[in-house]
Amino acid sequence: MAERIVLAKSFDPQGPSEDWWFLLIEDSGEMHVEHKQVRHNPFKRTRRDIRTRSYSVKEFLATTRHEPRGSLRMVLKQRGIQ
C-alpha cells in the first residue's frame, strides 16, 4: 500500500480555504508530491471545490518555494534519499 506523508498544511484565516501537500511513495518506490486545494463555498450544493495537482519530486523542488519544499527535503534526508 502506498505511503502518504503530510509535508505541510495551511488554512486561510481570512477565508474558507485549505492547502495540503503530501509526499506519496508508491509500493514500486516511485515518489511524487501532491498538492490538494480545498475551497469551501457556502453558495454551492457540495459546499467545497477540491483541486489536486501532482508533481515529480524533482519538479517540486525546482519550482516550489516556502514551507512544503523544506519539509520535503527534510523527509528525504531522514530517509537517506537525498
pLDDT in tens, 31-77: 999 999 888 776 766 667 889 999 999 999 888 666 788 899 999 99
CA–CA dist 24, 11 (Å, integer)? 21
For the chain, the domain total comes to 1
- The whole-number pLDDT of residue 66 equals 65
Domain hosting 50: range is: 3-78
Label residue 47 left, alpha or beta by phi (over 0 means left) and psi (-120 to 50 means alpha). Answer: left
- The whole-number pLDDT of residue 18 equals 87
Rounded mean pLDDT of 3-12? 90
Where is pLDDT greater, at 13 or 56?
56
